[in-house]
């Protein structure tokens, strides 16, 4: 897990962990498996149990650039939570990955049926995942373009 982050399930209030895991099924993905691409339909998400997943973005003229690497305990995917349910980044396994996989539509429906659990999940994703990923992506892009003033200014407002 990246320094400064807590295990996603540990961040979720204890009363709601079992609720969420009730929707999970275990999956294993081989190393170098493309999990999803930018703008694909975001219909699933995962909590990593072991292994590494690289989040990437395609930058015209530069190719695919890794913006963050996720490890044990981290949530992979939050785009499933917001319409139009499309991935903002791409993801590829860096090693074999064992994870809990969740059907996004099923979890969204359960969040509607159980507003307390849904709000707890939403807050945990917002607190533990979205803000940190956006900061990380912004920092990485600024690192890539920091010496190129022409591109750096366009990323300051775009990712944060």
Query: Do strands 63-70 and 34-36 pair parallel, antiparallel, or not at all (unpaired)?
Result: unpaired
Higher-scoring residue by pLDDT: 49, 67: 49
Domains of the chain from N-terminus onward: 8-149 (2.60.120.10)
Tell me: cis bond preceding 84? Omega within 30 of 0 counts: yes
Region 10-32: what's the mean pLDDT? 96
pTM: 0.81
At 150 the pLDDT is: 52
d(CA 84, CA 64): 23
Which residues face 97 on adjacent strands? Answer: 29
Q: Would the pLDDT of 1 be above 70?
A: no
């Amino acid at each position: 897990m990246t320094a400064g982050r807590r295990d996603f399930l540990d961040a979720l209030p204890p009363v709601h962990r079992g609720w969420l895991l009730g929707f999970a099924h275990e999956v294993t993905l081989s190393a170098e498996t493309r999990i999803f691409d930018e703008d694909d339909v975001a219909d699933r998400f995962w909590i990593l149990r072991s292994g590494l997943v690289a989040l990437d973005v395609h930058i015209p003229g530069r190719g695919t650039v890794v913006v963050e690497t996720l490890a044990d305990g981290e949530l992979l995917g939050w785009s499933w939570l917001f319409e139009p349910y499309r991935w903002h980044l791409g993801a590829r396994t860096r090693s074999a990955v064992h994870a809990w996989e969740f059907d996004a539509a099923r979890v969204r429906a359960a969040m509607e049926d159980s507003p307390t659990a849904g709000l707890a999940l939403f807050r945990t994703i917002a607190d533990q995942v979205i803000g940190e990923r956006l900061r990380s992506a912004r920092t990485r892009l600024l690192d890539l373009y920091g010496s190129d003033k022409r591109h750096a200014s366009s990323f300051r407002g775009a990712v944060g």
